[in-house]
């Protein structure tokens, strides 16, 4: 059954097929297009949204690439799966929560460079002269969910056992360091979309939603010892914030 769209696709600078792909994913997520069910035909969807059949095919191609739907000649297009509703990658806003490791998660080091400086850093604290720069990919059950750019102050880096760089989160590396005192820590969240590199490394569609999390740790002297820029795929992450009720006067 077709229904009148609630949005005007011509009012956005985003390509029409990408807009439609987002809408179609949402229909699967909420169960409007149930797993195992045949979805409307290309002609029906083109009529519903008032776009060319090619645009519909491009949008469905995005979902097929992600394994959400499967097209069969002479039979139609069917929903294969939908993302589980229990979003399993939590981003906590308190210090203890940020140290929690993801269950069954693995960390792959994509690149490793010594003696670098974070380019264009504008934030709290003072930069040290040199850092170790790692690019890492976090996965669970073979599915990537996080890309991280991590800078660790060079002297601190020397105190961390080599094996821990592929087993611990960036903040855990510092928190577990004996004798090191944290002066301050800050986390910043922004929402964006996947660029071509992110989409390839996380296995998601170009312009799919992502969450960018920057975490910065300072020592007692105000020196930046860790900068972690993480990009989480948006379909498996939730942000858990603890709010304090105002005091009654």
- Confirm if 132 and 228 have CB atoms less than 8 A apart: no
Mean pLDDT value across the chain: 82
Q: Can you list the domains of the chain with their CATH numbers?
A: 9-79 (1.10.10.10), 89-240 (3.40.1410.10)
Q: Which long-range contacts (CB under 8 A, 24 or more apart) does 129-135 make?
A: 129/154, 130/154, 131/157, 131/227, 132/157, 134/109, 134/165, 135/109, 135/110, 135/111
The maximal CA–CA distance of the chain, rounded, in angstroms, is 70
Q: How far apart are CA 80 and CA 186, in angstroms?
A: 40
Residue 86 pLDDT? 45
pLDDT range class, residue 2, cuts 50, 70, 90 = very low
Average the pLDDT over each of 3-17, 147-161, 188-202, 205-219 and give the range with the smallest value: 3-17
User: In this predicted structure, which of 54-63, 92-101, 115-124 has the lowest mean pLDDT?
Assistant: 92-101
Nearest residue to 173 (alpha-carbon basis) of 71, 223, 105, 98:
98
The predicted-structure confidence for 55-78, as pLDDT tens digits, reads as follows 999 999 988 988 889 989 889 999
Q: Is 208 exposed, middle or buried (0-12, 13-18, 19+ CB in 10 A)?
A: buried
**Statement: residue 87 has pLDDT above 50:** no
Average confidence (pLDDT) over 155-181: 89
CA–CA separation, 216 and 210 (whole Å): 20
pLDDT at 13: 45
């Amino acid at each position: 059954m077709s229904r009148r769209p609630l949005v005007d696709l011509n009012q956005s600078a985003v390509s029409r097929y990408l807009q439609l792909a987002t809408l179609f994913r949402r229909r699967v997520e909420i169960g409007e297009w149930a797993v195992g069910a045949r979805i409307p035909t290309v002609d029906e969807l083109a009529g519903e949204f008032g776009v060319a059949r090619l645009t519909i095919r491009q949008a469905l191609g995005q979902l097929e690439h992600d394994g959400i739907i499967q097209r069969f000649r002479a039979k139609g297009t069917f929903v294969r799966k939908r993302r589980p509703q229990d979003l399993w990658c939590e981003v906590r806003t308190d210090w203890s929560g940020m140290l929690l490791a993801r269950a069954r998660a693995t960390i792959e080091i994509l690149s490793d460079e010594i003696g670098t400086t974070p380019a264009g850093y504008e934030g709290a604290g003072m930069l040290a002269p040199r850092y170790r720069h790692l690019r890492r990919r976090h996965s669970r059950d073979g599915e990537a969910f996080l890309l991280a750019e991590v800078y660790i102050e060079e002297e601190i880096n020397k105190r961390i056992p080599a094996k821990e760089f592929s087993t611990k989160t960036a903040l855990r590396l510092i928190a577990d360091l004996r004798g090191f005192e944290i002066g301050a820590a800050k986390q910043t969240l922004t929402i964006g979309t996947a660029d071509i590199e992110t989409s390839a490394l996380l296995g998601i569609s170009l312009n799919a939603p992502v969450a960018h999390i920057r975490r910065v740790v300072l020592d007692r002297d105000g020196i930046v010892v860790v900068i972690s820029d993480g990009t989480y795929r948006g379909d498996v992450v939730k942000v858990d914030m603890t709010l304090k009720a105002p005091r009654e006067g």
